Amino acid sequence: MNYNFKFGALWRYQDEIVQGLLLTLQLSAVTMVCGLVIGLGVALAAGSPRRMLSAPARVYVETIRNTPLLVQLFIVYFGLPSIGIKLDALTAALIALSVNMGAYSAEILRAGFESVRRSQVEAARSLGLTAGQAFRHVVLFQAMKAIYPALASQFVLMMLATSVVSSIGVAELFHQASFIDSRTYRSFEAYALITLSYLALTLVFRSLFSGVYWAVFVRRPRR
């Protein structure tokens, strides 16, 4: 093999790499928050006894979970302008990612709510708590403890999935790798560096989520 590795050729593009990294983090954070809000609403609707609420929620979840994220992104960015709704690339990316995250988080949240025994809710109601109070004080903590690992994993997966938005020109981390490759013709070095960047982000966030889980759900405050 006569290939000469020249990672030093990438050094002058450090600003682009940092910008791509920051945009990836911003996309991930906004998507997580918006996706959780959407997911909570959909999970509550899916569990409603009213069919007019549960049926659309289930259709949404099944549609999003059984179609590719890239197709959803293209519908938002390229499809909506056909009906008069034109969005810039970043806004389209945030919408598509949030809608996708909402479907997956809805299923995770629904499973968490259903994992809490009905008898506990009934006991809380018999003690005089309202439905909202029973949800906050009895259901929410237990459900979040059960689903936290799944939500944390979903966040990491969504962070990695942000790379697809490079296909519509959003200058996140993967897009910057393509830009550097086009300027330096050092394909291996450019994509290897980005691979290591994604790996570092994943390890950092998994460690952070593990620390939060231990602090919130495992450690008990002293009385």
pLDDT above 90 (res 95): yes
Domains and CATH numbers, the chain: 12-218 (1.10.3720.10)
pLDDT: is 163 or 120 the higher one?
163
Task: Look up the pTM and report it.
Answer: 0.87
Cβ neighbours around 146 below 10 Å, total: 17
Distance separating alpha carbons of residues 98 and 41, to the nearest angstrom? 13
Residues 53-84: tens digit of each pLDDT: 999 999 999 999 999 999 999 999 999 999 99
Residues 19-46: tens digit of each pLDDT: 999 999 999 999 999 999 999 999 989 9
Distance separating alpha carbons of residues 63 and 100, to the nearest angstrom? 10
